[in-house]
Each structure stands twice: as structure tokens, then as C-alpha cells.
């Protein structure tokens, strides 16, 4: 039985953002999907989540200085 990629201790928590939350986020911070960094459609975590092109991922990483740090990527 293969283990899930997201269970590895080096992989930060990934979640697909709901469309309503994406709209609010883009209006407040980014301006448009084209301004967000890309996540490959072939990324193991993207495949595991079942994310589709255009979905926005919210990635929560541990940070030595901030405790938690949030990153956003759009699936390309």
C-alpha cells in the first residue's frame, strides 16, 4: 500500500481554496490569477488533492520566525 505524499513530514499542508474565498483573496491582495505563482498539474500533492487547472491552493508552512506562513499557488 502506497503512502500518501501529504503525510510526509516535509510536505506542508495544502488545501484547495473555495471559489468564494478565492474571489475575496484576489480582490484584496493579488488582483488576478495570472499574478499568483504556479503549481504544476503534475505535482504529487496536486494530483493527490484532485486539483484542476485554475484551482488555487493554500499552502501553510512552518516558519522559524513567524510560526506559520501562508502561500498561495494556482494550478497551471
**Cα gap 40→10, rounded to integer Å:** 18
pTM: 0.88
Q: How confident is the model at residue 30 (pLDDT cuts 50, 70, 90)?
A: confident
Region at 26 (left for phi over 0; alpha for psi -120 to 50; beta for the rest): alpha
Q: Mean pLDDT across the chain, nearest whole number?
A: 93
**Domains of the chain from N-terminus onward:** 14-75 (3.90.940.20)
**Cα gap 75→10, rounded to integer Å:** 20
- 68's enclosing H/E stretch is strand 67-75
pLDDT tens digits, one per residue of 8-27: 999 999 999 999 999 999 99
For residue 46, with 0-12 CB atoms within 10 Å meaning exposed, 13-18 middle and 19 or more buried, which class applies?
A: buried
Amino acid at each position: 500500500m502506497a503512502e500518501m505524499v501529504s503525510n510526509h513530514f516535509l510536505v506542508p499542508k495544502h488545501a484547495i481554496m473555495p471559489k468564494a474565498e478565492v474571489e475575496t483573496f484576489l480582490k484584496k491582495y493579488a488582483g488576478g490569477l495570472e499574478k499568483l505563482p504556479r503549481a504544476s498539474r503534475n505535482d504529487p500533492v496536486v494530483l493527490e488533492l484532485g486539483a484542476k487547472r485554475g484551482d488555487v491552493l493554500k499552502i501553510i508552512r512552518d516558519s522559524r520566525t513567524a510560526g506559520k506562513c501562508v502561500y498561495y499557488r494556482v494550478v497551471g
